């Protein structure tokens, strides 16, 4: 019966093993839900790529919060589709949006089989993931840190030169005027053609938001546009593969989710936060009043 006594001795360690496993799961879940959530999301974002399966994205980030079928324009082939313009045909993609807690948003445009493109938006000053765009070792590969990298650090897109074009401005007619988007499209060109493209820009659903933008963005001589590029911080990046999609049917509004959609999931601020905001607003009002008094005294307007 020596084997039985050995089994009984081994069974004494089973509660210890189960307790250790439970403690490990608890620590890992607490880390991913708290301090380490930003790092956990950043690691999963670097695992994304065009043409992955939609189920793969669900496995990384869980179930999405919003889903809708959006109309897009596609480059027609052979004239078999209903044309909506020169060399263009009507189509549709499934747009899914994930709310990454208080960190940001993830949006994908996909068919039933694969993800054509995806965009990442940060909404927190504490969540600044680094995204590597382009093949490893490629001379023009870029590393972008959301919430930190400025648009001015990129080369100015040149029409017809292979770097893409400026697509930015206000959203399409009919959308709220303060729902703002700006995007610049860049492309990687290889001998076989365009293999990968990406857009960098600003969306009102992200943080920070720099809204001071001239109306005529295509006027390269406009000084306000150059000043905006130097000052604006990238809070959204969109990555898309080589597809028949007409990019202007998605950009610039596709650089990030609509603020009027994602705000429905925003939790109301606490009472302490509301009181702090009210005190800051009162201080701002008092400071503005004192500045106005000083200005009038200086000009002897009393």
What pLDDT shows up at residue 163? 33
Q: Hey, what are 270's tokens?
A: 């606490």
In terms of pLDDT, which residue wins out, 210 or 216? 210
Over residues 245-265, mean pLDDT:
85
Q: Are 149 and 132 in contact (CB under 8 A)?
A: no
Average pLDDT, the chain: 78
- Count CB-CB contacts under 10 A for residue 106: 24
Q: Could you tell me which residues come within 8 angstroms of residue 5 by beta carbon, excluding any fewer than 6 positions away?
A: none
Label residue 105 by pLDDT band (50, 70, 90): very high
Instruction: Return the ∠ at Cα 236 (arms to 139 and 252), rounded to 5°.
Output: 100
Report if pTM > 0.85. no
Over residues 38-55, mean pLDDT:
92
Percentage of the residues of the chain whose pLDDT score is greater than 70: 73
Label residue 66 by pLDDT band (50, 70, 90): very high
Q: Could you tell me which residues come within 8 angstroms of residue 135 by beta carbon, excluding any fewer than 6 positions away?
A: 141, 188, 196
What pLDDT shows up at residue 82? 46
pLDDT of residue 22 exceeding 60, the answer is yes
Candidate from 35-39, 85-89, 177-181, 295-299 with smallest mean pLDDT: 85-89
In terms of pLDDT, which residue wins out, 269 or 262? 262
Helix/strand/coil percent split, the chain, to 5? 35, 25, 40
Over residues 159-175, mean pLDDT:
43
């Amino acid at each position: 019966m020596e084997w039985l006594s050995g089994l009984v001795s081994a069974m004494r360690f089973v509660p210890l093993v189960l307790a250790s496993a439970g403690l490990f799961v608890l620590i890992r879940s607490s880390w991913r839900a708290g301090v380490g959530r930003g790092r956990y999301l950043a690691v999963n974002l670097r695992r994304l790529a065009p043409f992955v399966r939609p189920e793969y994205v669900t496995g990384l980030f869980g179930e999405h919060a919003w889903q809708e079928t959006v109309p897009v324009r596609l480059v027609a082939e052979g004239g078999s589709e209903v044309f909506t313009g020169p060399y263009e045909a009507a189509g549709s993609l499934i747009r899914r949006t994930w709310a990454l807690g208080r960190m940001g948003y993830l949006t994908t445009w996909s068919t039933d089989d694969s993800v054509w493109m995806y965009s990442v938006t940060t909404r927190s000053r504490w969540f600044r993931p680094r995204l590597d765009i382009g093949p490893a070792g490629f001379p023009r590969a870029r590393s972008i840190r959301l919430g930190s990298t400025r648009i001015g650090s990129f080369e100015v897109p040149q029409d017809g030169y292979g770097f893409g074009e400026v697509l930015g401005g206000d959203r399409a007619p009919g959308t709220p005027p303060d729902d703002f988007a700006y995007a610049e499209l860049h492309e990687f060109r290889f001998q076989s053609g365009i293999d990968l493209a990406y857009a960098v820009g600003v969306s009102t659903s992200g943080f920070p938001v720099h809204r001071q933008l001239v109306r005529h963005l295509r006027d390269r001589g406009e000084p306000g546009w150059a000043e905006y590029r130097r000052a604006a911080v990238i809070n959204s990046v969109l990555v898309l593969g080589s597809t028949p999609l007409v990019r202007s049917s998605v950009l610039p509004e596709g650089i990030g989710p609509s603020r009027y959609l994602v705000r429905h999931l925003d939790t109301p601020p606490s009472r302490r936060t509301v009181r702090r905001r009210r005190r800051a607003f009162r201080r701002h009002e008092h400071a503005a009043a004192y500045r106005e008094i000083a200005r009038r005294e200086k000009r002897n307007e009393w």
